[in-house]
Structure 1
Amino acid sequence: MSELVLMKGNEAIGEAAIKANCRYFFGYPITPQTEVLEHLGRRLPEEGGSYVQAESEISAINMVFGAASAGARVMTASSSPGISLMQEGISYIASAQLPAVIVNIMRGAPGLGGIHPSQADYTQSVKGGGHGDYKLIVLAPSSVQELIDFTILSFELAEKYRTPVVLFGDGMLGQMMEPVVIPEIKPVPIDRPWATTGMGDRDKPNIVHTLYLPTEQLEDHCNMLFDKYQVIEQEEKRSQDFFTEDAEILLVSFGIASRVTKAAVEMARENGIKAGLFRPITLWPFPDEALKNAAKNAKLVISSEINMGQMIEDVRLTLGNQIPIELFNRIGQVPTPDEIFEFIKKQAGEVLK
């Protein structure tokens, strides 16, 4: 039976991965996500799995590539600069159509930045990051419980679509502690006829590769990938609405920022301002139609982010020029509900005259 326990976010990710039947982890320490490695370093051997601390993030992602090719459920975790080093390998894994989970517990950037909470890797993960034409499913949890639930979901989606999935956290989510329920999952045998595990009953061995020298083959391969991405866009968009039905001021926010934004919306409602919150859960595929529906009565949209304004570009692409769209942002720190509420009041005074 599942029970309520107090867990740190990073450790919860590691335990959820084990519950999702992940038995291989390759990574390299970097704050603020190192506890993911530490937890799996203790737990994986107890479950018959393997943890390898690679000599670099570049080595770690290529170890993931190899394990995924052999049909293993595999994960890596890092933080912003480390994820940058993995981009070439991520592109290879996407092209090879291999399931893998990549955890990014973001830190302030660019450069070394700091270990403070950040959402500044949005463009990197949502728009590709590495070379070539490919996309990544990106899930944005807002609590430690969702770190668990979305870690498990990440493995399910990666396996379903044979594609890398990014779990998109931040320094606060990784370090904070909350009561959570870790579900019990019965492992389901998964057929992986594409894995490089020997011929078996096949007529020829499987070969995992990403090189297509004939231009026709390359074009066919990319078209096939994007046919799959189109299916993902149709089937896997996720979002959450809060007081959006009559919202005249709609806030759009994801991850940890959405939690304080929700509190600010409640404060606005208590003060007679019809504010609402739209929370994208999948950053890709971006839930554009759901956002349009949430904004149907809005006179102003505010994108609330912990970066210099990255998701706001997708908000503008979705809503066009029909509604004014403003940015509320902080850098390297989670804003308080009071700060966001004051911004809402100021904007309401100008827009709702």
Structure 2
Amino acid sequence: GVIINVQRGGPGLGGIQPSQADYWQATRALGHGDFHVVVYAPSTVQEMADYVYSAFDVADAYRTPVMILADGMLGQMMEPVVMPEPNDVLPEKPWATVGHGHKRAHNVVNSLYLTAEALEDLNVERYKRYAAIERDEQRAESFLTEDADIVVVAFGASARVARSAVVAAREKGIKAGLIRPITLWPFPVDAIEATVPTAKAYLSVEMNMGQMVDDVRLALAGRRPVDFYGRTGGVIPTPVEVLAKLEAMNEEIATCKGGE
């Protein structure tokens, strides 16, 4: 199955303005039990279309739900879109239910496991699939990260804002770069790991009070400082605000270097 979530400001009835405050819900707390879903975070209307196609393919390949986690900014935006070519051949699904008229052996779809050992076996098998997803399905875009002192991490609409701020920072001589996670689960730890040898600090930019920043910190495991800038309740951060944060971080890096 594929789930579409176009986030708006909350909590409660909230508003219709853009938000990214469902990150924890999508990556941590969709329901009870030990489970994940794959989460894509598009940042353009084109990607809103593209990743729906990818989502169904991944859902079929791993027999897991997949979520498209967009936001109100993308949901209300108009951009040109080239629709992907439709698939003429669908994958084989030997696990699917087919009904009594089919010659194949019947499959049973079951979500009730009354024996603790049987339910444990189900979870263990599922986590083997999750390990394969974490290994093979991480997606991220890197921009100007090769020599970056400060690496901004931002997804979805916030990544559009952050990219403009990174370009403006470069014009001011600040070596900033951007990692845009495309999969929020599995989180693209490999893309972040590739920047650790050169980066001095990281900045998570989000439309919430600080959620993805936890995964950035987990990926870095204390090896580099991680800062956060966010707006919430439907307020969109601006490139000017993010640039000001980058300038402050750059000054702090320079001060620390001078102290050494």
- The bucket for the TM-score relative to the shorter chain is over 0.9
Correspondence list, 1:311-322, <5 A: 311-322=212-223
State the shift of 1:334 in Å: 1.9
Match of 1:268 among 169, 179, 185: 169
Matched residue, 1:177 = 78
Matched residue, 2:245 = 343
| 1:278 maps onto 2:179 in alignment | yes
SS state of the match for residue 226, structure 1? helix
Matched residue, 1:142 = 43
State the shift of 1:352 in Å: 2.0
State the shift of 1:195 in Å: 2.2
Aligned pair count? 253
Match of 1:214 among 115, 127, 136: 115
State the shift of 1:214 in Å: 1.7
| 1:194 maps onto 2:95 in alignment | yes
Contact in 2 for aligned 1:195/1:206 (Cα 8 Å): yes
Correspondence list, 1:186-265, <5 A: 186-199=87-100, 200-203=102-105, 205-265=106-166
State the shift of 1:301 in Å: 0.7
| Gapped regions of structure 2 (runs ≥ 5) | 256-260
Paired-residue identity, % = 50
Aligned mates of 1:128, 1:339 — CA distance in 2? 31
Superposition TM-score, scaled by structure 2 size: 0.94
Matched to 1:291, the amino acid is: I
Match of 1:333 among 221, 235, 238: 235
Matched to 1:124, the amino acid is: Q
State the shift of 1:242 in Å: 0.5
Matched residue, 1:298 = 199
Aligned mates of 1:186, 1:159 — CA distance in 2? 13
Superposition TM-score, scaled by structure 1 size: 0.70
State the shift of 1:335 in Å: 1.4
Matched to 2:237, the amino acid is: P
Contact in 2 for aligned 1:128/1:136 (Cα 8 Å): no
Matched residue, 1:110 = 11
| Gapped regions of structure 1 (runs ≥ 5) | 1-99
Matched to 2:8, the amino acid is: R
State the shift of 1:191 in Å: 2.4
The superposition leaves residues 225-262 of structure 1 with CA deviations (integer Å, 9 ceiling, x where unpaired) of 11110111111001110010110011110011001100
Rate the CA distance shift 1:259–1:202 in 2: closer, same or farther, 3 A. same
State the shift of 1:296 in Å: 2.4
Aligned mates of 2:190, 2:80 — CA distance in 1? 33
Aligned mates of 1:202, 1:188 — CA distance in 2? 20
State the shift of 1:193 in Å: 2.4
The superposition leaves residues 240-293 of structure 1 with CA deviations (integer Å, 9 ceiling, x where unpaired) of 100101100111100110011001000000110000001111000011122021
Contact in 2 for aligned 1:303/1:327 (Cα 8 Å): yes
Aligned mates of 2:90, 2:53 — CA distance in 1? 16
Match of 2:67 among 131, 142, 166: 166
State the shift of 1:197 in Å: 2.0
Matched to 2:44, the amino acid is: S
Larger RCO, structures 1/2 (Cα 8 Å, 6+ apart): 2
SS state of the match for residue 194, structure 2? helix
Matched residue, 1:79 = none
Match of 1:126 among 27, 30, 42: 27
Contact in 2 for aligned 1:247/1:295 (Cα 8 Å): no
Aligned mates of 1:343, 1:168 — CA distance in 2? 26
Aligned mates of 1:163, 1:329 — CA distance in 2? 31
State the shift of 1:213 in Å: 1.3
Aligned mates of 1:306, 1:149 — CA distance in 2? 23
